Structure 1
Amino acid sequence: MERKLAAILAADIAGYSALMEVDEAGTFQRVRAGHQELLEPEIQKHNGRIFKLMGDGLLAEFGSVVDAVECAAALQRGMAERNAIGSESNPLQIRIGINFGEVIVEGEDRYGEGVNIAARLQALADPGGICVSGKVGKEVGSKLAFAFEPMGDQRLKNITEPIACYRVNFDRGSPDRVEPHLRNGYPTHKKTSIAVLPFSNMSGDPEQEYFSDGITEDIITDLSKISNLHVVARNTTFTYKGRPVKVQQVAQELGVTFLLEGSVRKVGARVRVTGQLVDGRDGSHLWAERYDRELTDIFAIQDEIAHAIIEQLKVRLLPDEKVAISATPTEDVEAYTYYLRGRQFLHMCSKSYMLLARRMFAKASEIDPDYARAHAGIALCDSVLHSWRYADVSIETILATSAKALELDPDLADAHAARGLGLQYGGQREQAAAEFKLALALDPDLHEANYFFARFFFEEGDFERAAELFEKATQVRSDDYRSAVLLTCVYLALGRRADMKRAGLLGLERAERELTLHPENSSPAQLGALALAYLGERDRAKEWAARTLAIDPDDLNAMYNIACAYLHMGEHEPALDLLEKVIPIASVHRFWWSTDPDLDPIRNHPRYKRLVERTTLASP
């Protein structure tokens, strides 16, 4: 068996299935023209060779990693230019992944992990974007004036070990964004680079975790507003939460020069915040400060920390950036505290916690009527509770609440996501999709936008797009078990059994962790039971099902999820017993179980037929 080292480029058309559905002949012609006029000539020009063509993608081999990366940038620029002069309402966009590694040579074809990783990286790339492995970054070094923005270690399907991944910024036309890559494991960015690690909760009360997390996120948000500062995203740095870390190792893993770490102690009306800025190259401390203040000074503390970082790193602020950093979503610390608590409850996602989250957001908006985030939180909770039939609130009221949030802050991604969900449940699907897209454009890492837009696509039958967004949601929040478990349903619908198992194991691991922390919360028990059913662990699935119904015996959503687990295990009678109790819920969410191929044996069951008829009649 012949083996060799090669740079492998994987390219794929984003949303190809949807484009073909809209205009099969036109899409086919555009894809073929793109291959002949752009992809094939550029790959040849950069000394590459296409060794596999698929309907919506290709695999190419390069002897030089530099050639492969330069070719990828040329392809994306060329595709953008073609879209700019075209008149199509649905322009073609490609995703590109590049890996450098050993491949198996078989005639003109190439196989092996080196090829597989490139294909997986392509799936992580944004439409119009490039994602590369850490090996590619090391080989390229500072040879190209591109930005290589760390995405952290990613778990790729069917790849045992996590892979260090980087997003490539190839825009040479915008000098402020150009950043050469790593040299000797550390960045040589034109922009100064920093990662903010999760601040430790020193309050002695685990329930105060939401407060230290909220402060960390707000500092990341403030620093991210500075164009001359590269800040690692929240979802990447929070993978280090609760782990003992070595500063220099973390700096190298994230590809940054500086790290900010700290702690928060909140006791009554007082708060103590410590912060220290560390040089990741040698571990030296550049700045450290402790703030002992009244809780009402928390916004001033965050502002002082941000300005201290700016001063120490000698970063130049533009006038509008000074204003943006000084601005706060609310001036009232009590409203802020209620909002952060609401966010914590929202992510726990069971009936009781969703109602708690809504009360927290409502209290925040009562204290500060101009708090846009609080109004967005109310709209989101009302949409979810409406879908579960636990809120006597109209779609019109939900849309009015989200409109209030957008009136206060038109660029608030949370408000656009909440409005999208309200529009979706109101049957205005085209407008809902537009709001979800806008939310992701404003904040690609917003968990709610990725999660609910994924559910939207699953309901549409676009399983590929649903999978992409659910995968992103699991990456954005390391405690998100819901997206991981629902991915099992998506991959089952796609016939991708290996991916279904991977997603199920991840969802189960996260659900177990959450259930240990909050044994009173039925949500992880519900989803854990479903994951176990898909993984074939029938006895444990039944144990988790019983635990769910013991925690929340009257929760319709809990009954629905347990019914899904029973259906998948072939336990038809107990499943139908539960589903017949939850017709309002099943009428909204029946797409989850109606697409399961393992339900074929029950399709002709009289009770099943009556149930399908009743859920159809009960649909909103």
Structure 2
Amino acid sequence: MRVNVQLIKAANDSHLWADTFDRKLTDIFSVESEVAKAIADQLRAHITGQEEQILAAKPTDNPEAYDAYLRGLAYTLKTTTSPTNALAAQKYLREAVRLDPKFALSWALLSYVDASGYIIQSLEPTVALREETRQAAETALTLQPNLGEAVLAEGYYHYACLKDYDTAVRYFEQARPLLPNSSRIPESLAYLTRRRGQWDQSESYFNEAERLDPRNVNLLNEHAGSYILLRRFPEALRKVDQVLDITPDDLDTLTVKAAIAQAEGDLPRAAALLAPLHPNADDSYALETQVYQEILERRPAQITPRLKEILAKPDPALGPINSELRFWLGWAQEVADDHAAAQASWSQARSELESFLKEQRDNYFLIGYLALTNMGSGDKAAALALSERAMAALPIEKDAVTGPIPVEILARVAAQMGEPDRAIAALQKLLSIPYAGAFPAGPLTPALLRLDPMFDPLRNDPRFQKLAESAAPKAGDK
């Protein structure tokens, strides 16, 4: 076996060192350890006794299990944690621990992937998923109590699945000395402090993580996401461009760039970015951004055939994402004045969402989309009740990032259902705070209020006009 190794300075992409190792393929881990020590020598780094043990440790004796682990790991390093990437990572990591039930590192990463998918809903946040997350973390800790990744996974379970932030922080800090120079500790703390609404502290952790891992595209995209929540769009674009420098033509990252243009009200720029993209059925973020673009432009007829084609043969692995796309199809049909087709789409979406909600009773995301489908169908009482149920399921005090999303759902439902006072009050609240946004363009902005057809019933209200004409909130408006 020949291993070619290059040492590159990530900050400026400069070449520092290269070497070739010719070895017999009898023990891949001893080769890895030898290469790591050679790199440390080149960096003139002193390896501590603990680090020596880490380098010498063999995570598994099963090459097939290690191969599955590496494949799962690769999916966690993509630009975004999309449903497709999360499902693929989960599949390979489950296979790794099936092949070697004592593979602690893979148990830890499986728990981390499950927890991440649970909180951002790239995986269905069921009780079963939460339980797998807990069991995987505990298995990793039982197998290797001093494995930093296992301690981190336990913390991530408390953060993502239980929203027990204090306990999560204790685990993250416990993992820090076990994972020296790892970006994952400050990265995890950046996410947690963001959920707590501690925006300056989150920014500091993001910067620390990026100093340790400057070419981590998922981390850079998440940092861009933070700037979007804060409506600091120029800074978000700079981060997005950093990602595109590393992974040119990345579909999800280009979509983020288009969504920023939508939020700023620059529909021609958004259209130019979206036009070359051809998302597949499982690229739901890009698809929804394209649909939203045509809805904002009031010409959604072009996208509906593509959505119909996808939903004619929905992928069962995507679960409620298919129902979410069906809502978007209904909205596009409604804006195109195809009212009968819209009602049919919303009726089917409502039926599917109700079925999923039986297993995920507190899923604010499903409840919110069910509120919107009932709104489309004209059921005012159900739509308003579901909006309030979503707000109760995820209070802003528990989650500053996604907690305001149900408030946006209420604003949209109230606007459409003849409750202008409730709609205006909700919009006034939303425009004064950072948050993730119910739709692809991110948090509501004055530009989106001017463009989005859902707010048409409010256009003659002076209070709405004041909100829609105001400047976008600045970075300091927290």
TM-score bin, normalised by smaller chain: 0.5 to 0.7
Structure 2 CA distance for partners of 1:494 and 1:366, relative to 1, 3 Å? closer
2:85 to 353, 356, 363: 353
Residue type of the alignment partner of 2:123: Y
What residue number does 1:541 align with? 270
Q: Is the 8 A contact 1:389 1:584 kept in 2?
A: no
Q: Is the 8 A contact 1:388 1:585 kept in 2?
A: no
Q: How far has the Cα of 1:543 moved from its partner?
A: 4.2
1:464 to 184, 197, 200: 200
SS in 1 for 2:23: strand
Q: How far has the Cα of 1:436 moved from its partner?
A: 3.2
CA distance in 1, matches of 2:329, 2:151: 35
2:23 to 288, 292, 295: 292
2:151 is the alignment partner of 1:416: yes
SS in 2 for 1:592: coil
2:186 is the alignment partner of 1:339: no
Q: Is the 8 A contact 1:329 1:373 kept in 2?
A: yes
Residue type of the alignment partner of 1:598: T
Q: Is the 8 A contact 1:488 1:531 kept in 2?
A: no
What residue number does 1:433 align with? 169
Instruction: Compare relative contact order (CA 8 Å, sep 6+) and give the higher one, 1 or 2.
Output: 2
2:445 is the alignment partner of 1:598: yes
Residue type of the alignment partner of 1:346: T
SS in 1 for 2:105: helix
CA distance in 2, matches of 1:313, 1:513: 24
Q: Is the 8 A contact 2:264 2:448 kept in 1?
A: no
CA distance in 2, matches of 1:529, 1:395: 33
Q: How far has the Cα of 1:401 moved from its partner?
A: 0.6
Q: How far has the Cα of 1:556 moved from its partner?
A: 4.6
Q: Is the 8 A contact 1:508 1:531 kept in 2?
A: no
2:170 is the alignment partner of 1:442: no
Tell me the alpha carbon deviations over residues 32-59 of structure 1, each in whole angstroms, 9 at most, x when there is no partner. xxxxxxxxxxxxxxxxxxxxxxxxxxxx
Q: How far has the Cα of 1:381 moved from its partner?
A: 1.8
1:584 to 352, 366, 380: 366
CA distance in 1, matches of 2:243, 2:23: 36
Residue type of the alignment partner of 1:541: A
CA distance in 2, matches of 1:338, 1:425: 25
CA distance in 2, matches of 1:492, 1:310: 38
TM (norm. structure 1) is 0.43
CA distance in 1, matches of 2:222, 2:38: 43
Q: How far has the Cα of 1:428 moved from its partner?
A: 2.6
What residue number does 2:101 align with? 369
Q: How far has the Cα of 1:306 moved from its partner?
A: 5.8
Q: Is the 8 A contact 2:254 2:273 kept in 1?
A: yes
Residue type of the alignment partner of 2:56: S
Identity %: 20
TM (norm. structure 2) is 0.54
What residue number does 2:238 align with? 505
Structure 2 CA distance for partners of 1:388 and 1:292, relative to 1, 3 Å? same
SS in 2 for 1:261: strand
CA distance in 2, matches of 1:422, 1:573: 44
Q: How far has the Cα of 1:577 moved from its partner?
A: 4.2
Residue type of the alignment partner of 1:593: G
Structure 2 CA distance for partners of 1:561 and 1:379, relative to 1, 3 Å? farther
What residue number does 2:280 align with? 552
Q: How far has the Cα of 1:484 moved from its partner?
A: 3.7
Structure 2 CA distance for partners of 1:306 and 1:450, relative to 1, 3 Å? closer
2:255 is the alignment partner of 1:526: yes
Q: Is the 8 A contact 1:330 1:336 kept in 2?
A: yes
CA distance in 2, matches of 1:535, 1:559: 20
CA distance in 2, matches of 1:593, 1:309: 44
2:203 is the alignment partner of 1:454: no
SS in 2 for 1:293: coil
Residue type of the alignment partner of 1:551: P
CA distance in 1, matches of 2:168, 2:55: 31
What residue number does 1:197 align with? none
Residue type of the alignment partner of 1:293: K
CA distance in 2, matches of 1:573, 1:450: 44
Structure 2 CA distance for partners of 1:481 and 1:362, relative to 1, 3 Å? same
Q: How far has the Cα of 1:526 moved from its partner?
A: 3.2
Kindly report which structure 2 residues correspond to 1:39-438, keeping only aligned pairs within 5 A, or say none: 237-239=9-11, 243=14, 245=15, 247=16, 261-262=18-19, 274=20, 290-294=21-25, 296-305=26-35, 323-348=53-78, 349-386=81-118, 387-388=120-121, 390-391=123-124, 393-423=128-158, 424-438=160-174
Number of positions where the alignment pairs a residue of Structure 1 with one of Structure 2: 329
Tell me the alpha carbon deviations over residues 464-523 of structure 1, each in whole angstroms, 9 at most, x when there is no partner. 11212223344443344454444455446667x5xx42341231341364243xx6xx43
Q: How far has the Cα of 1:559 moved from its partner?
A: 5.6
Q: How far has the Cα of 1:398 moved from its partner?
A: 0.8
Q: If each structure's helix is expressed as a fraction of its own residues, which one has the higher value?
A: 2
What residue number does 2:474 align with? none
Larger radius of gyration: 1
Tell me the alpha carbon deviations over residues 199-239 of structure 1, each in whole angstroms, 9 at most, x when there is no partner. x986xxxxxxxxx79xx8xxxxxxxxxxxxxxxxxxx8444
Q: Is the 8 A contact 1:481 1:506 kept in 2?
A: no
Moved more, 360-369 or 395-404: 360-369
Structure 2 CA distance for partners of 1:326 and 1:592, relative to 1, 3 Å? same
SS in 1 for 2:65: helix
Q: Any unmatched runs of 5+ in structure 2? A: 301-324, 332-348, 354-364, 369-389, 395-401, 406-434, 458-478
Q: Is the 8 A contact 1:345 1:354 kept in 2?
A: yes
Q: How far has the Cα of 1:380 moved from its partner?
A: 1.8
Alignment RMSD (CA, Å): 4.7
Q: How far has the Cα of 1:394 moved from its partner?
A: 3.0
SS in 2 for 1:355: helix
SS in 1 for 2:27: helix
Q: How far has the Cα of 1:592 moved from its partner?
A: 0.9
Q: Is the 8 A contact 2:210 2:220 kept in 1?
A: yes
Tell me the alpha carbon deviations over residues 124-176 of structure 1, each in whole angstroms, 9 at most, x when there is no partner. xxxxxxxxxxxxxxxxxxxxxxxxxxxxxxxxxxxxxxxxxxxxxxxxxxxxx
CA distance in 1, matches of 2:298, 2:188: 29
CA distance in 2, matches of 1:547, 1:554: 17
Q: Is the 8 A contact 1:467 1:491 kept in 2?
A: no
Q: Any unmatched runs of 5+ in structure 1? A: 1-199, 203-211, 217-235, 248-259, 263-273, 275-289, 611-620
